[in-house]
Amino acid sequence: MAMPASFDHKSTVDEIRARFDADVERFSNLQTGQSATIDAPLAMELITRAALACTDPIRRVLDIGCGAGNNTLKLLECAGDFDCDLVDLSRPMLERAQERVRSATSGTVRVFQGDFRGIELPEQGYDVILAAAVLHHLRDDRDWETAFGKIYSLTAPGGSVWITDLVSQETAPVQQMMQQRYHDYLCALGGEAYKDQVVAYIEKEDTPRPVTWQLDLLRRVGFRQVELLHKNSCFAAFGAVKGA
């Protein structure tokens, strides 16, 4: 999971969309989250509780890369009704998320298909922004800076953003160690063939960055406070709060 010298071999946006179009059921389990993600239920719980602790009231939420809606549903369980905008590349994912979220809130639910960087969304319009297992699809520094800058611009004063994601490490020896730990986890979960399958699609689709680098970037784009909630191997839960 080290940074590649070139991104030419990586999946295009259309290829990523196609894979998720065919994978809705796997992302529709609120209790377990994604099994290939270490500590997925804990990470979801932590970003939910952090959003509640840092942002009151929660009136409007943006879920970037919402998948089947798990993270918004978890927040609704704890925060009560709010309006929410759901964004995803995959139309089948959005349809499932819309159905599930509308059944859980009396608030307004809007859906947007596409890359959130190119979608017109309300400036400073969201009390909470969620981004779970999505930002690792960003590629070069400009992609990351544009995405984090837009997240800052969309966050309301006093609002917060909470991220769970695959991350890399800053040093090669630690990267190798953490990568081996993750491979061992995948083997224990589903065997060698399952491990090879997951590793292959990470190599094809993903370009994670260190959580330390992302926390620094959150500060650089304007967030006044950042928090690392949890890190285990190559997965982390973290976020930031915008000044009032």
pLDDT digits (tens, 9 = 90+) for 11-27: 666 666 656 555 655 55
Map out the domains of the chain with their CATH numbers: 13-241 (3.40.50.150)
Mean pLDDT across 178-194: 94
pLDDT of residue 204: 86
Percent of all residues in the chain with a pLDDT value above 70, rounded to a whole number: 86
Cross-strand pairs, 130: 63, 162
pLDDT at residue 153 is higher than 70: yes
Average pLDDT, the chain: 90
Q: Are strands 155-166 and 235-241 parallel, antiparallel or unpaired?
A: antiparallel
pLDDT at residue 7 is higher than 80: no
pLDDT of residue 188: 94
Q: Is the peptide bond between 57 and the residue preceding it cis, with omega within 30 degrees of 0?
A: yes
Residue 211, both tokens: 């959580």
Encode burial over 20-42: b for 16+ CB neighbours within 10 A, e otherwise.
beeebeebbeeeebbebbbbbbb
Distances (CA, A) of 4 to 11, 188, 202: 13, 28, 12
Distances (CA, A) of 59 to 69, 154, 239, 241: 17, 14, 19, 16
Mean pLDDT across 115-122: 95
Residue 8: pLDDT band (50, 70, 90) is: low
pLDDT digits (tens, 9 = 90+) for 216-227: 999 999 999 999
Backbone angles phi, psi at 158, to 5 degrees: 80, -5
pLDDT digits (tens, 9 = 90+) for 63-85: 999 999 999 999 999 999 999 99
Closest residue by Cα to residue 166 from 123, 198, 193 = 198
Residue 20, both tokens: 């998720």
Element (H or E) spanning 84, and its range?
strand 83-88
pLDDT digits (tens, 9 = 90+) for 191-216: 999 999 989 988 888 899 999 999 99
pLDDT of residue 1: 43
- The residue type of 206 is D
